[in-house]
Amino acid sequence: MKQVIETKGLIKFFDGIHAVDNLSLSIEEGKITGIVGPNGSGKTTLINILSGFYNYDKGEIFFSGAKRKKILPWENKIYGTGRTFQQIRLFNQMKVIDNILVVLTERNPFFALFERHGEYHIKCAEDVLKKVGLYEKRGSYAKDLSYGQQKLLEIGRILAIKADIIFLDEPFAGLFPEMIKRIENIIRELKNENKTVILVEHNMNIIRELCDHLIVMDAGKLLAEGRPEKVLSERAVLEAYLGE
């Protein structure tokens, strides 16, 4: 199976503390890979590095076998990657459909705010909103959506850019069961389309249901990896993550 992301000896310091400590791992194409660990274990730091929001201090990163010495956030679309954040990032004063139209442009996002969109772009945006269940809200302002709907809109923006590698940082946090099921179904559809999903999540039931492969981090290091049911039964994981 093709490895779409690989790290070798990855290190990231914050004030002399290892947030990511000599981390070597690989992520397979077309799989849902979960990343779990206790608070402060380095999960979000890793995602921030791989999506270009943090630089790394040492090590190597490869995307589809090509070494990337420096990753810049605005290059994510070029390399077919997209992400969500723990703290939702939307254009709250813009309408729902405009939040999608902004990312459909090939130009600078600033100029995209003032672009006159044609029928093609509008149809693409509407198709995305139908897929995430927000079509009826297309004319509403993002700030007026519920918390769960805002999470759906953030995921919709990733679908709009047709990302092949998708980082989801705690997309289920704070959601009601109905919304959790909706996002689970979207993630399953992405896998059916051979997209690669990297999921940071605390809910072990969701991890067991969705993930093909599980990576457990602790204190910035790789603690364990493999099939979720196997990894979550390992004594080291139970002690470090589940407190048993």
| pLDDT tens profile 170-214 | 999 889 999 999 999 999 999 999 999 999 998 999 999 999 999
What homologous superfamily does CATH list for 1-80+166-244?
P-loop containing nucleotide triphosphate hydrolases (3.40.50.300)
The encoded tokens of residue 221 equal 């290091």
Query: At 66, is the secondary structure helix, strand, or coil?
Result: strand
Structure-token pair, residue 218: 């602790």
φ and ψ at 101, to 5 degrees? -60, -35
pTM of the full predicted structure?
A: 0.89
pLDDT category at 106 given cuts 50, 70, 90 is low
C-alpha Rg value of the chain to the nearest Å: 18
Half-sphere exposure of residue 128, counting CA atoms within 13 Å on the CB side?
27
Using CA atoms, how far apart are residues 186 and 31, in angstroms rounded to an integer? 14
Q: What span, in angstroms and rounded, lies between the C-alpha atoms of 76 and 83?
A: 9
Task: Show me where the domains of the chain are located.
Answer: 1-80+166-244, 87-162
